[in-house]
Structure 1
């Protein structure tokens, strides 16, 4: 059996839960006992901690440990799924028999002898200890954030800070011979600030992390960094004017504004939506869907990034997938089921929230590649428009491609200069159309700080987003001010 970076972690499940390759083979055999085209086992063990600080007091603290296995049987386009939090052989075999009910036909014999997934070099640390070993250090992080934000300005009236982490261990075995395992750390620090002046209140948020250990917040991005950024945003908004409304030139800043790309374009490029022809991008491979300056990739192999994985939740190695190249749609993000049914390449994007859910095509780190324009030249080219630097919430209709996003930090651009901050600005557009108006792409590609969580069909998974500064010649801005 080939050895891999991720495969070194399988011994945890064998030692802790008494699993053996023979048990896995028996479960797969039971899963295919009523027919079916494919079956897989997804084992998961998660240790997590979180601390919340509000009004300078610890308001919440939790630690949890969970473990279980999800068993899937695929027959044509149908999926049978069962899960159990009891990892004894008897309960696993019972769950496998339950999942098998979806199929009808002669029993199929699974592969005997697995082939271990050969994954990329190490993208993140695999701690040899549980991440709850030093709660005092984690409490210190949120306390420092609270103290720094309150000291930023006397108008800061409320601060909330939170820290969370988890150590997720997974093991996947499948009837196609797939055998993969991984140990995945994930940590995040968040700061929320409320500011008040006279009768106006405003808020600011900041945070970050990734597949990192706690040392990241001591050496890379400190609590003080996030606290000052959240406080800066809140104070800035106190003096913001009402955003103008109408169609205008819009410049998106680098980094987190890539969340617009994630929602407006990324979800529409997931294979299951296109297989069902419910995406605005269905049937458009090989056609122009954006300006020739636009290239968009999804990349699960970036060291330390929140959306990165050695292997996806089907045991396949992640990769870099070009979705849009120079404006031309090149492909979709697929899991094993979509790749088989659509006769398309498998991109290693099968992801799930936990062992209780089935995998589906999901993004990892999705971003637009850098161009050749200097950011200052992009700003200088705008006579009057909007410069959006940070975003709050947003929504997209996958079928139509229409999206609405609220900008949490934005400014007017007047005569080629960034001027007054604005409040209550929303960006309204259509994914397949909006990117056709990209006329300038900056050379300053940045990814977000590491806070992205993506929701789909009731499941949430960590993701990364990013983009360089870009200019859209036309976009509808919603606001209450005058132009």
Structure 2
């Protein structure tokens, strides 16, 4: 039955299409004549542009608790979304019923947004070449579930063997094989197969006085299952256990302005949140971002160059094509402190007179594409990491970040630091607890005073939420020093 909202119209049902083959010679997800007919129906009332998005995703999820596999599930989602754009207006409909009448109803429903009195036309599409930034010889969906559950059992044993103070271990493994096809009225047709996996281990350690501390680590990417031969679950588990044990006996964090040094790698999540979202074109077009209207202006220290790169080999956020069928790109957003570019999807690029940057991404066929990040990182600098630490007489070393939140309208951010240490006379001191970083994104960028020579991507843990849509992303950072950061803590500095 068709369903409608103020900004989109949707049709859904419950029938599933038959399984399809995989590979360059695989049968298309939908026959090309049917795709072309859907485009014609979508444009029958007028409109400037129409698009058909087809998806089939197989997912496996395994959970371990109390040294036992608590669940192991495999699921399939598949469907077709049809989008029609008429000026700034967007009509969207989707169906998980692959029968032709249901798909035509979805296309007709999406067309209702345009009332220009269109005429009967045809929209032939032609397959375009797609780059290859990830190659998975054996699809993850073809790997036996027993091998996946085995990873978690190995992780559990390794974490518990690390230290007698480890009292609790939870672990998860999730993978998916996602096949998509995108066609539009500009004649472009592209397909991609995207394998993705992620393992995470959470460890709780308990000290003599009953104090409990938590450590978490994980990783993955657009990689084959053989990735776990070189990034074994034992190493993941031991790192999670190390974090938990290392922070036992942590002292209260001092509050107030401090010099902060960020560890390389996962600390890039601060850059992603505090800066990256403010550079997405929907926020720029609406004027709600602090970075709106500042192209060509100085927004950060000369040492800061921010890059979003969807072409990183096997990266968690990498894309051969975005969810509008455009090739993934490497974009320099801030160069030597100067704002150079924004992240554009097709709709916002057109409305702003720009070109898409291959940044149109969506969670599934049920969702509209939005401008989103892929792998976002800070370019390396010229300072040796050990020298960056030696120069700090007193400050805070942030080894691992937890959750955080950002208000893009004013750039205010708050981040929890899950593993942090005092810096005293250029050396790491005692671990601290309850540390928070508080500030304004652009101001923090202007206070960057040292950038290390040790660029490091995160191990493949990133998940980004925007407008209710969850997507995999990558982050990265070299060792970084930021001066005059407000640190939230439980005692006065």
Q: Same-fold call, TM > 0.5?
A: yes
Q: Deviations over 1:250-288 (max 9, x none)?
A: 111110000000000000000000000010111011001
Q: Distance in 2 between matches of 1:81 and 1:323?
A: 30
- Asked if 1:215 corresponds to 2:226, the answer is yes
- Asked if 1:163 corresponds to 2:149, the answer is no
From 363, 368, 380, the equivalent of 1:358 is 368
Deviation at 1:137, TM superposition (A): 0.8
Q: How does 1:73-222 map to 2 (within 5 A)?
A: 73-107=84-118, 112-120=123-131, 122-127=132-137, 129=139, 131-197=141-207, 198-218=209-229, 220-222=230-232
Q: Deviations over 1:325-381 (max 9, x none)?
A: 000000100000011111123100000000000000000000000000001111111
**Alignment match, 1:370:** 380
**Alignment match, 2:267:** 257
Q: Deviations over 1:365-398 (max 9, x none)?
A: 0000000000111111111111111100000001
Going from structure 1 to structure 2, the CA distance change for 1:94 and 1:118 (only over 3 Å counts) comes to same
Deviation at 1:110, TM superposition (A): 6.2
Deviation at 1:214, TM superposition (A): 1.3
Deviation at 1:132, TM superposition (A): 4.6
Going from structure 1 to structure 2, the CA distance change for 1:141 and 1:326 (only over 3 Å counts) comes to same
- Asked if 1:313 corresponds to 2:315, the answer is no
* Runs of 4+ residues deviating >6 angstroms: none
TM, length-normalised to structure 2 = 0.93
Q: Deviations over 1:35-76 (max 9, x none)?
A: 111110110000110111100111111000121011101111
Going from structure 1 to structure 2, the CA distance change for 1:251 and 1:108 (only over 3 Å counts) comes to farther
8 A Cα contact 1:373 1:441, kept in partner: yes
- Asked if 1:395 corresponds to 2:395, the answer is no
Deviation at 1:131, TM superposition (A): 1.4
Q: Distance in 2 between matches of 1:435 and 1:61?
A: 43
- Asked if 1:59 corresponds to 2:59, the answer is no
Show structure 1 runs of 5+ residues with no match: 1-7
**Alignment match, 1:349:** 359
Deviation at 1:240, TM superposition (A): 1.2
**Alignment match, 2:44:** 33
Query: In structure 2, the residue corresponding to 1:447 is in which secondary structure?
Result: coil
Going from structure 1 to structure 2, the CA distance change for 1:172 and 1:108 (only over 3 Å counts) comes to farther
Deviation at 1:12, TM superposition (A): 4.1
- Asked if 1:421 corresponds to 2:431, the answer is yes
CA RMSD of aligned residues (A): 1.4
8 A Cα contact 1:10 1:171, kept in partner: no
Query: In structure 2, the residue corresponding to 1:273 is in which secondary structure?
Result: helix
TM, length-normalised to structure 1 = 0.95
8 A Cα contact 1:9 1:182, kept in partner: no
Q: Distance in 1 between matches of 2:120 and 2:491?
A: 67
Q: Distance in 1 between matches of 2:165 and 2:392?
A: 34
- Asked if 1:452 corresponds to 2:452, the answer is no
Q: Deviations over 1:15-40 (max 9, x none)?
A: xx5x3221111100110111111110
Q: Distance in 1 between matches of 2:397 and 2:278?
A: 25
8 A Cα contact 1:111 1:176, kept in partner: no
Query: In structure 2, the residue corresponding to 1:238 is in which secondary structure?
Result: coil
Deviation at 1:116, TM superposition (A): 3.0
8 A Cα contact 1:126 1:183, kept in partner: no
Q: Distance in 1 between matches of 2:55 and 2:385?
A: 44
Q: What count of residue pairs does the alignment treat as equivalent? A: 471
8 A Cα contact 2:39 2:123, kept in partner: no
Query: In structure 2, the residue corresponding to 1:229 is in which secondary structure?
Result: helix
Going from structure 1 to structure 2, the CA distance change for 1:27 and 1:76 (only over 3 Å counts) comes to same
Q: Distance in 1 between matches of 2:412 and 2:374?
A: 22
**Alignment match, 1:332:** 342
Q: Distance in 2 between matches of 1:292 and 1:129?
A: 44
**Alignment match, 2:450:** 440
8 A Cα contact 2:136 2:224, kept in partner: no
Q: Distance in 2 between matches of 1:129 and 1:293?
A: 41
8 A Cα contact 1:333 1:347, kept in partner: yes
From 412, 436, 440, the equivalent of 1:430 is 440
Show structure 2 runs of 5+ residues with no match: 1-21
Q: Distance in 1 between matches of 2:482 and 2:139?
A: 48
Which sits farther off after the overlay, 183-192 or 19-28?
A: 19-28
**Alignment match, 2:490:** 480
Q: Distance in 1 between matches of 2:376 and 2:130?
A: 20
